[in-house]
Structure 1
Amino acid sequence: MAEHVPAQVSTGPRSRAASAASALRTCGAGLRWFAGTPGPGLLVVAVALAACTSSSAPPQPQTARVERTTVYTAVSSSGALSASSEQNLGFLKGGRLTAVNVKVGDRVTAGQVLANLDDGPARRTLEQQQAQLDAQRAVLDRLVNSTTVTGAENSVEQAQAILDATEDQVDATVDADESALDRAQRQLGFDEDARDDANDQLDADEKACETTPGSGTATTGTFTFPFTPVSPLAAASAPGTTGTTGTTGGTDTGAGAAHKRTSSSTDSTAGTPAPTGTGTATSPGTFSATTTPIGGACSAVSSDQSAVTAADRQVEASRTARDAARQKRDVDAAAGQVSIENARQGVVNAQNNLDSAATDRPSTIAQQQALVAAQDAVVRQAQQDVDETVLRAPVDGTVAALNGAVGEYVAASSGTSALAPGSSAAIPGTGASAAAEGSEVARPGGTQFLVLDGVETFQVVVPFAEADASRISSGQNVDVTFDAVPDLTRRGTVLRVGPAASASSGVISYYVTVLLNETDPRLRNGQTALAAIRTEELRDVLAVPNSAVRRSGGQTTVMVVGPGGVRRTVPFQAGEVGDTMTQVVSGLSEGDQVVVTDQR
Structure 2
Amino acid sequence: MQMDRHRRVLPAAASSALVVLLLAACTGEEPTQARTAPVERAAVTSGVSATGSMSSVTQQNMGFPNGGQLTNVFVKVGDHVEPGQVLATIDDFALRQTLEQQQGQLRSQQAMLDQLVNSPAVGGAKDTHAQAEEILEATRKQAEAVVQADETAIDNAERQLSIDKKAREQAEDKVEASRKACDGGSSGDFDFDFDGGSGGNGGSGGSSGGGDDDGDNDSDGDGDGGSDGDGDGDSDSSGASGSASATPASFQKSSFDPACLTLSSDESALMQAKQKVVASEAALDNAKEQRDVDKTNGDLAIENARQAVVNARNNANSAASDRPFEIEQQRGAVIAAQAAVANAQRDLDNATLRAPVAGTVSVLNGVVGEFLSPGSGTSALAPGSAATIPGVDASAGAAAAAAGPVNPTRPGGAAPFLVLDDVNAFQVVVPFNESDAATIVPNQKVEVAVDALPDLTLTGSVLSVAPTGTSIAGVISYYVTAVVDGSDPRLKDGQTVRATVVTEEIGNVLSVPSAAVRQENGKSTVTVVEPDGAERPVPFEAGKVGAGRTQVLSGLREGQQVVLPATR
With normalisation by structure 2, the TM-score equals 0.44
Higher strand fraction: Structure 1 or Structure 2? Answer: 1
TM-score with structure 1 setting the length: 0.42
Higher share in helix: 2
